[in-house]
């Protein structure tokens, strides 16, 4: 990958695009395990099937009570494990809407499309996997769902020093990747800072999610009526002002280790940032979406009735399926993972109460 980058100056967004999505070198495009014990990181979908079952319960209630079309579109489905749990519970809880419905996955990675097809083979008649919105035949109506999608989107990186804002770039020196700073010239970044009223203090680094902004407009063109569920980790504008976050949030995950330097292991590790929730809300409202709520994930799951899913049993085996399921529930409502993630809900051409 270093040879391909030699004699180039890349923005961090361009570097992340190569490091994550390049067809030859990109981390997500490689045919290797990335998620789970043998990969580099875990997701909430690894916490048993509980997350998928809980979201399926919410989706089913929206379909049965409010007539939401029985179509679910997951964006970036990973291994397909979360989709399997949703489909399993959907079929169990609401056979009628399941039979008339469809679960679509928009997945850019050929490797993950293969993994999803294998995982979801038992539901083959109700699943469609595509590589982009362009493959969807018409405007989508139903439920749009993503889990840890935006945190992997490329971002630009800026930094304020001595009253001047610089953009940070990546280049090759002495066969290694290094960072260079140049006075900010990118008009799209300038516009983002202005329309979002972002003010940086000296010494502060900040990620600019232009790819997320662009994606919101693309998604909006692909949907007609939808309830949009976004599960991820991030901060509000007010939370970004905390001194602990002045170095930004761009990091890597390599063999389950957090790597502070995003230039380490190019193409071999995951790169991630905490998303800007207020930006997602702001640009959603620009395209006509109605903001419904932003919950911490544990709060959302409690509202959805997760404690009702605890299984009564008398099996003393701590590794039994029932005990594992109950432990997963407890970890989601009492552990760090439930507090680290959030759930945002937005609606396009709908006005439906999520919880009553």
Place of tokens 């361009």: 14
DSSP string across 188-214: HHHHHHHHTT--PPTT-EEEE-HHHHH
Determine the Cα–Cα distance for residues 79 and 119; give it in Å rounded to an integer.
7
Note whether residue 93 is domain-resident: yes
C-alpha closest to that of 140 among 65, 263, 222: 222
- Count of C-beta atoms within a 10 Å radius of residue 211: 17
Please state, in angstroms and as integers, the Cα–Cα distance from residue 335 to each residue in 47, 56, 298, 339, 340, following that order. 11, 22, 9, 7, 9
Note whether residue 310 is domain-resident: yes
pLDDT at 283: 98
Determine the Cα–Cα distance for residues 73 and 228; give it in Å rounded to an integer.
9
Note whether residue 194 is domain-resident: no
pLDDT at 187: 97
Note whether residue 50 is domain-resident: yes
Number of domains in the chain: 1
Helix, coil or strand: residue 248: coil
Determine the Cα–Cα distance for residues 156 and 76; give it in Å rounded to an integer.
21
Note whether residue 122 is domain-resident: yes
Determine the Cα–Cα distance for residues 83 and 49; give it in Å rounded to an integer.
10
pLDDT at 6: 62
Contact assessment for residue 144 and residue 227, using Cβ atoms and an 8 Å cutoff? yes
- Domain ranges, residue 146: 39-154+210-233+274-348
Note whether residue 162 is domain-resident: no
* Those residues with Cβ within 8 angstroms of residue 6's Cβ, 6 or more apart along the chain or in another chain: 172
Please state, in angstroms and as integers, the Cα–Cα distance from residue 249 to each residue in 11, 189, 216, following that order. 16, 18, 21
pLDDT at 168: 97
- Count of C-beta atoms within a 10 Å radius of residue 261: 11
Helix, coil or strand: residue 12: helix
* Those residues with Cβ within 8 angstroms of residue 124's Cβ, 6 or more apart along the chain or in another chain: none
- Count of C-beta atoms within a 10 Å radius of residue 125: 7
Note whether residue 23 is domain-resident: no
Determine the Cα–Cα distance for residues 47 and 234; give it in Å rounded to an integer.
20
CATH of the domain at 66: 3.40.50.12710
Note whether residue 131 is domain-resident: yes
Please state, in angstroms and as integers, the Cα–Cα distance from residue 218 to each residue in 139, 170, 221, following that order. 12, 28, 5
DSSP string across 60-111: HHHHHHH---SEEEEES-TTSHHHHHHHHHHHHH-HHHHHH-EEEEE---HH
The one-digit pLDDT tens for each residue of the chain (356 residues) are 556 666 678 999 999 998 888 877 788 877 665 454 544 445 555 455 889 999 999 999 999 999 999 999 999 988 899 999 999 999 999 999 999 999 999 998 888 899 999 999 999 999 999 999 888 767 899 999 999 999 989 999 999 999 999 999 999 887 889 999 999 999 999 999 999 999 999 999 999 999 999 999 999 999 999 999 999 999 999 999 999 999 999 999 887 688 889 998 888 888 999 999 999 999 999 999 999 999 999 999 999 988 888 766 555 555 567 777 777 777 787 777 768 899 999 999 999 999 87
């Amino acid at each position: 990958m270093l040879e391909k980058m030699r004699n180039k100056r890349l923005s961090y967004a361009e570097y992340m695009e190569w490091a994550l999505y390049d067809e030859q070198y990109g981390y997500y495009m490689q045919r290797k395990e990335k998620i789970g014990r043998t990969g580099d990181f875990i997701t909430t979908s690894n916490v048993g099937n509980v997350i998928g079952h809980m979201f399926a319960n919410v989706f089913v209630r929206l379909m049965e009570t409010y007539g939401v079309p029985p179509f679910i579109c997951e964006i970036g489905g990973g291994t397909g494990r979360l989709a399997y749990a949703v489909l399993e519970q959907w079929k169990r809880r609401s056979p009628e809407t399941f039979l008339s419905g469809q679960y679509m996955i928009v997945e850019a990675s050929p490797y993950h499309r293969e993994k999803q097809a294998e995982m979801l083979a038992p539901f083959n008649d109700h699943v469609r996997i595509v590589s982009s919105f362009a493959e969807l035949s018409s405007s989508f109506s139903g439920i749009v769902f993503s889990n840890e999608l935006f945190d992997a989107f490329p971002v630009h990186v800026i930094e304020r020093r001595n009253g001047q804002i610089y953009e940070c770039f990546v280049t090759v020196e002495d066969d290694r990747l290094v960072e260079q700073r140049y006075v900010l010239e990118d008009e799209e970044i300038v516009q983002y800072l202005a329309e979002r009223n972002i003010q940086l203090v000296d010494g502060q680094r900040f990620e600019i999610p232009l790819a997320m902004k662009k994606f919101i407009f693309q998604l909006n063109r692909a949907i007609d009526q939808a309830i949009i569920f976004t599960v991820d980790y991030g901060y509000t504008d007010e939370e970004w002002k905390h001194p602990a976050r002045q170095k930004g949030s761009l990091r890597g995950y390599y063999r389950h280790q957090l790597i502070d330097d995003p230039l380490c292991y190019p193409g071999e590790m995951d790169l991630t940032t905490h998303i800007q929730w207020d930006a997602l809300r702001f640009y959603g409202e620009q395209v006509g979406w109605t903001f419904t709520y932003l919950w911490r994930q544990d709060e959302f799951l409690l509202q959805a009735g997760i404690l009702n899913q605890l299984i009564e049993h008398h099996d003393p085996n701590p590794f039994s399926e029932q005990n594992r399921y109950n432990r997963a529930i407890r970890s989601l409502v009492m552990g760090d993972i439930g507090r680290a993630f959030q759930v945002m809900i937005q609606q396009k051409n709908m006005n439906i109460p999520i919880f009553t």
